[in-house]
Every structure is written in structure tokens, then in C-alpha cells.
Structure 1
Amino acid sequence: MSNLLAQSWCTLSALHNRIDGHVERALQAAHELSVREFSAMLLLSGQHSGEGGHLRMNQLADALGLSQSATTRLVTRLEDRGLLSRYLCATDRRGIYTEVTAAGRELLDQARPTNDAALKEALDEAEQHPELVPLVAAVRALDSTWPQVPTPA
């Protein structure tokens, strides 16, 4: 059983690497954004002012699968480009929040179609490999079940 489990994990990892690389190249070429930068901005763009509506840096790190220090470096890079800004939490001065700036929202709006097209292309290419077909089908099925990130008006 463990050999099958290990092989399944290798197949899933291969699909992830294939998709991640394809999307990375597309976002870098068109928008000078990495997949992690795009993902951070996408997550942060969904914040709201209600209860639990903001992500702390440690929550962002967990959501991105990065260490605290790597997340801080990523946020600093985006902040230096004017795409994110940081501010202190009004109710807890130890808490630091990060939000997408107007320039960041504009870039994110431009990058979304690139990300979506690259993701579709990567999945279409992966479907040409019989061992990846069930995983691609599972990813496509998730698309209709996950809540959509609101697009700013």
C-alpha cells in the first residue's frame, strides 16, 4: 500500500510542478509577478473590514505555504513596488496587516486573465498524460465547488 501511496504522491507532485512552472512563466513574462506574489495579492485582495476579514502575516504565510521570513520578504518586495502596504491593527497594536494598493489591484486585475489562461493551458497539456487525467479532472471539479474570490468593482 505505501508504494502505491508514494507513487500517487509523486504523480500529484508532478502535476503541481507542471502547472506551477507554466503559470510562473506566464505571470513573469506578462506582469513580472511570481506565482507566490500573485497568490499573496489574490488572497489579500479578498480581505474585508468585518470580523476576521484581515489576514495577519502568519496567516498569510500559512496560506501561501511559506515561512514567516519568506513571507516578510515577499511582502516587502511587493510593498517596494507599490503593490501592497502595511499598517497596524487598530485594536491590537502588535498586529500588522497588509492590503493591496490601488496599483496592486490594477496589476492583479491585469494578471488574473493571464493566470487563468496559463492554468487552463497547463491543465489541457497535463491531460495528454494518462496518469494525470484523474488528477486534472479532480482539479477541474474543484473549480465549481470553491467559493469565488470577489473581483473588485
Structure 2
Amino acid sequence: MRHHRRALQAGHELGVREFSLLNVLSVQHDGDGGHFRMHHLAEAVVLSQSATIRLVTRLEDRGLLRRCLCPEDRRGIYTDVTEEGHTLLEAARPTHDAALEEALNSAEERPELAPLVAAVRELAPAPA
């Protein structure tokens, strides 16, 4: 994880949680159930709701996210990835993927972790 964190930070000025949040938000769509409310977003990135709000605020301050009102329920607030956020996410994705692959390769060398790595690799989608 340390290597993963350093690679994203050095190459893209992103933390692992920031990358995860951008990644989760990048798959939203305008159809039914297509946007995450803050509590669903917190669950998806495994953070408390208050920590998620702070993270969203930091990314919004950097111009990577924007908040907007839910059209069906004006009390609800959605968060969307900006064009700049999408650009950074796509630039950071190869760094993220390479760091994860390196971590899996390292873990695979440990006999007690090899079955877990095999299971993870089996579940991973095939490269495009």
C-alpha cells in the first residue's frame, strides 16, 4: 500500500482514497439510480460520511468535482466528476493499475497468500 500511495501521490498528486472516490463517481450516469448520494458514496469508498464530505470538499476545491442539487429531491446533493477530474483519473489509472499488479505479484510469492491472489486474479475483468 505504501508503494501504491507514493506512486499516485508522486505521479498525479492523488491519494489512494482520492483516486477511489473519483473512480467510483466516474461510473455515475443520469438514469435512475445513476448518482450516488453522499451516504452511498461513503459506503462505496469505505469511509465515514463526514470523512467522505471532507474528501469531496478537497477534490471540489481542486476543481476535480462539483456538487449539484438532486432534481427529484432538492435536499439531496450529488457530486459529479469534472472534465479535469476525468482527465486526471484517466492519467492516474495506469499508475494505479501497475501499483496494484506489483502488489499482487509480491503477495503471490508468499505461499499463504498465493491462493488469495489467484482468486483475485480470477475475479478481475479481462484487460480491454
Q: TM-score range by the shorter chain?
A: over 0.9
Partner of 2:7: 26
How many residue pairs align between the two structures? 127
The TM-score with structure 1 as length reference comes to 0.80
Q: Deviations over 1:43-96 (max 9, x none)?
A: 101000000000001000011111110000000010010000001001101100
Residue 111 of structure 1 aligns with an amino acid whose one-letter code is A
SS across alignment from 2:112: helix
Residue 125 of structure 2 aligns with an amino acid whose one-letter code is S
> Which segments of 5 or more consecutive residues in structure 1 lack a partner in the other structure?
1-19, 149-153
The Cα of 1:136 is off from its aligned counterpart by 0.7
Contact 1:22/1:119 (8 A) holds in 2: no
> Stretches of 4+ moved more than 3 A in 1?
none
Partner of 1:80: 61
Residue 82 of structure 1 aligns with an amino acid whose one-letter code is G
2:6, 2:111 → 1: CA distance?
24
Give 1 or 2 for the bigger CA radius of gyration: 1
Partner of 1:135: 116
The TM-score with structure 2 as length reference comes to 0.95
Task: State the Cα RMSD in Å.
Answer: 1.3
The structure with the greater share of residues assigned to helix is 1
Partner residue of 1:94 out of 68, 72, 75: 75
> Which segments of 5 or more consecutive residues in structure 2 lack a partner in the other structure?
none
